[in-house]
Amino acid sequence: MAIVTPFLVANPDSSYEISRGGGGNDPMATIGGLAEEAGSQADTPATQGEFRFRLTGFARADDLPEVWLELRDESGGQVRTHRVQVIGVLSDITTVSMNQVHVNSRAIAAVTGEEVRPDTFFIKVSEGAVVREVAQEVERAFLSSALDATVIADSAAQGQALTRGILQLFQGFLALGLLVGIAALGVISARTVVERRQQVGMLRAIGYQPEMVALSFVLEASFIALVGIGLGTGTGIVMGQAIIGQLFSVITAGRTLAVPWGQIGIIVLGAYLFSLLTTILPAIQASRIYPADALRYE
């Protein structure tokens, strides 16, 4: 008997309740090539621990059809084969799915011709027990064997913390780029006031009030900021969905990316407000230009 991971099921369906198997009634997959090859890896020989095939003819459903795998070992100049039946597909959220195919020790011994000595054990802690204390007790009990007990939740938390740290580093660089862009918008606004000094004087001469001149500069800078923010936000969401769908197509199959609209909204609002703050001072300076001084400017 064997249990496989969702990665080996071709075109996996994320729903176990509504999926129904299709195709043949008794599909059989063989590591030697009777199953569907995995994309462009069809001509690439599989190395130890790798499986270059996908199980076809059914979806990940409760009514799993009869599926057989033929395991073959050609090491040592001798070919050993052993057939096992797939009796289940692991869930996407399982914490013990470290290999693509799980079989018992007798099946491995039949293929390799050697007795299997497992080096990893999973211990289920009884309800109400403290996991870390149980791990310490296990290490003390097997101290002579140098056993290392690891809590799966702690290992997952360490991996998530590392990933979160890398993502926060990227977010820091992006925030720095955003601040530089906001500062650049303020510099452009200040330069615009200097370059348009005569135009501002003419507007004041024909009747424009200081508030109207300041508002025109603020509206111009606001339009530039909104266009930049909109393009950046849209591009980021589209590229994020494309990258996640490409890199994690198996994990996210049949699912949609959860866009953090709340965080995005706060960042967009903050960027827009800071952009307005950097343009207020140049706009006030432009509103204080007197027509006579501006028209005398060379």
What would the pLDDT profile of 2-59 be if each residue is shown by its tens digit?
A: 676 666 665 544 332 223 333 333 333 333 332 333 333 334 444 444 555 666 666 6
First and final C-alpha spacing in the chain: 90
Q: Of the ranges 8-12, 137-141, 236-240, 243-247, which one carries the lowest mean pLDDT score?
A: 8-12
Phi, psi of 55 (to 5 degrees): -80, 125
Q: How far apart are CA 244 and CA 236, in angstroms?
A: 12
Residue 268 has pLDDT above 80, yes or no: yes
pLDDT of residue 294: 66
Give the pLDDT confidence of 143-165 residue by residue, as tens digits.
888 888 888 888 888 888 998 99
Residue 269 has pLDDT above 90, yes or no: yes
Positive or negative CA dihedral for 8, 27, 105, 139? positive
pLDDT of residue 31: 32
**Count of C-beta atoms within a 10 Å radius of residue 288:** 13
pLDDT of residue 21: 34
Domains of the chain by residue range: 2-120, 163-295
